[in-house]
Amino acid sequence: MKRMMIFIPAILLMAVITAYWIQTKNADTEARPSNTANVASATFYDANPFKVRAVLKPETPKVGKNHVTIFVQDETGKPVSGATLKAVAVMPSMGSMPAMYAPAAMKESVAGKYEGEFTPTMSGSWPLAIDINAKGKKGSITFDLATGRKGLRCTTCGDQVTAIPGIIRVDPDRRQLIGVTTRHVKRKTLRVTIRAAGTIAYDETRLSDVSMKFNGWVGDIYADSIGKPITKGDVLFTVYSPELLAAQGEYLEALRRVHAKGGNRKGLLEAGRRRLSLWSMTPSQIRTLEKRGKAQDYVPILAPESGVVIEKQILTGSAFKTGQRLLRIANLSRVWVEAQVYDYELPLINTGMKVKVTLPDIQDREFEGKVDYIYPFMENDTRTARVRVVLDNTDGFLRPDMYAQVKLRVNMGKRLLVPESAVIYAGEARVVFLDIGDGRLQPRKIKTGQRNRHWIEVIGGLKAGDTVVTSGNFLIAAESKLKSGLAQW
């Protein structure tokens, strides 16, 4: 009996100690920030140039009044005082129902701590957007918030890891049954191929226009059709002009006076020769005029460059005005390819890059060239940018207005990569299943960058050496959604 009396107080003492330990542990657990990234109140997130922490009360938002506390720090971790905060929860529009807004009037209670209340009017998703303005600096951040779901998730944080509820366990037999395979996330060289549609165009630096510096009439035409090949120095057509005829006569008169008076009028002779030269007469034509001693009514106009006639504005006997374009000649020994690329591809393209060009209907021939120029504007109708490629066309095989396919290969260097088959596209979200051992698979949102046919760059959410599911992940995704009750990804 005596022993029992001693034993009972001992049991009571142990119970008190155990209760105190449990209470202390629970309090410590509540005070300690969670390591999961879906609880924004435990972490300061980047809202460049600020750092932001948000706390909800109640922690599980409800329909009606909710209290939100926002802590704002600068890049060094010091509280930011005197900032202007705009916080608003928005339920996106659905069908004919317009978007709904639940703004929070934020007031600073202590330095760097801002408090306010917002009132969701119905159950559902209410993303919380926060804009910060302090001393001329501006930052913003958005949290994924939903009534009935605990905590916040940062949706605009650069490389924060976002773990999603829905961990499932798949035993080896089931893995084999549904064909689950895994691969490691690794850092390796990423090569990206940019494919763009384009057209063959004239090299504008090799176009020549033929026009006269005087009024006149066209005589005989030798460049008489579009597409006719022309060699530099060939006669294109002849022209009659009273002004040119008078200039020839004045030059011959000056020449006779020079010969008669021993060179006293050489200055006048040089002026006449220069005038004829500017009026499209070549030095050989001027020498012929001197030998003939008589002005020529119809003067031949010679081709300034070799090429083909691509534009013709004259007929025999037609009149022309000073400066009117009569012919246009294109040298096709070199052509341009103007390709259309999307804006997100522009940072990968530099002048001088090697390019391979093929024609859609002639796949057995490939042309090599270089990026010559990137146009500094966007095309209004397609919202793409033009990239110019220069190709040699000595054999004349390429013709303007042909369709072309342009291929550029870009070496991105070492990047953190995940197999393309591992990534599930869920709206704007990108999700993989991480093998965390013991048969457990965890869905995780990742942020992706560049990609090719086999690999996708991972900017945030994974690290080298992680193991991800590469096949069977859609079946796993369906089961994970059912177990977590989460359909947002």
Specify whether the CB–CB gap between 232 and 329 falls below 8 A: no
Q: Is residue 8 part of a domain?
A: no
Structure tokens at 468: 């991800």
- For 392-422, letters b (16+ CB in 10 Å) and e give ebeeeebeeebebbbebebeeeebbbbbeeb
Whether residue 50 is found in the same domain as residue 109? yes
User: End of a domain among 350, 382, 412?
Assistant: 412
Same domain as 151, residue 111: yes
pLDDT score of 10: 47
Q: Tell me the two tokens of residue 219.
A: 């005589």
The candidate with the shortest Cα–Cα distance to 182, out of 445, 429, 484, 440, is 440
- Same structural domain, 133 and 233: no
In terms of domains, do 68 and 129 share one?
A: yes
* Residue (of 147, 142, 149) closest to 70 by Cα position: 142
* Residue 3 located in a structural domain: no
Question: What integer pLDDT is reported at residue 237 of this predicted model?
Answer: 96
Please indicate, yes or no, whether residues 447 and 379 belong to a single structural domain of this protein.
no
pTM value is 0.57
- Output the DSSP codes for 76-120: TS-B--S-EEEEEEEEPPBTTBPPEEEEE--EEEETTEEEEEE--
| CA–CA gap between residue 391 and residue 354 (Å, rounded) | 11
In a domain? residue 119: yes
Same domain, 55 and 123: yes
406 and 417 share a domain? Answer: no
Is 87 within a domain? yes
Question: Do 351 and 377 fall within a single domain?
Answer: yes
In a domain, residue 25? The reply is no
The answer to whether position 373 is within a domain reads yes
Instruction: Report the side by side order of strands in the sheet with 107-110.
Output: 45-47, 50-57, 66-73, 113-118, 107-110
Q: Do 182 and 260 share a structural domain?
A: no
Co-location of 323 and 339 in the same domain: no
Question: What strands lie across the sheet with 298-302, from one edge to the other?
Answer: 298-302, 235-240, 216-221, 319-320
Question: What phi-psi label fits residue 275: left (phi over 0), alpha (psi between -120 and 50 degrees) or beta?
Answer: alpha
Q: Which domain holds residue 439?
A: 168-190+413-484
Q: Which of 342, 335, 348 is closest to 390 using CA atoms?
A: 335
CB within 8 Å of 36: residues ≥ 6 apart: 163
d(CA 107, CA 425): 39
CA distance 303 to 282: 11
133 and 178 in one domain?
no
Query: Residue 84 maps to which CATH number?
Result: 2.60.40.1930
Angle ∠(477,481,486) on CA atoms, nearest 5: 135
Residue at 27 is within a domain: no
> Based on the structure, what is the number of domains in the chain?
4
Q: How far is CA 85 from CA 102, 158, 283, 416, 486, in A?
A: 14, 21, 79, 36, 31
Q: How far from 374 is each of 352, 365, 380, 405, CA to CA, in Å? A: 10, 25, 16, 17
Among 327, 349, 364, the domain boundary falls at: 327
pLDDT value of residue 36? 34
Q: What is the pLDDT along the chain (489 residues), one digit of tens a residue?
A: 444 444 444 444 454 444 444 444 443 433 333 333 333 345 788 888 899 999 999 999 999 999 999 999 998 889 999 999 999 988 765 545 666 889 999 999 999 999 999 999 988 878 888 989 998 888 888 888 889 888 887 766 644 455 455 677 788 888 888 888 999 999 999 999 999 999 999 999 999 999 999 999 999 999 999 999 999 999 999 999 999 999 999 888 888 877 776 555 667 778 888 888 888 888 899 999 988 989 999 999 999 999 999 999 999 999 999 999 999 999 999 999 999 999 888 888 999 999 999 998 887 889 999 999 999 998 888 889 999 999 999 999 999 999 999 999 999 899 999 999 999 887 788 889 898 887 888 888 899 988 888 999 999 889 999 999 998 877 777 756 655 444 444
pLDDT at 217: 96
Q: How many CB atoms are located within 10 Å of the residue 96 CB?
A: 5
CATH label of the domain that carries residue 198: 2.40.30.170
Q: Which of 276, 302, 327 is the last residue of a domain?
A: 327
d(CA 373, CA 390): 9
pLDDT at position 109 is: 93
**What element of type H or E holds 45?**
strand 45-47
Find, among 483, 480, 345, the residue nearest to 426 by Cα: 480
Residue 61 lies in a domain: yes
The CATH number of the domain where 175 resides is what?
A: 2.40.420.20
- The tokens describing 85, both together, are 């905060």
Asked if 57 and 132 sit in the same domain, the reply is yes
Q: How far apart are CA 89 and CA 119, in angstroms?
A: 9
Q: Which residue has the tokens 């690794």?
A: 186
Whole-number pLDDT of residue 41: 41
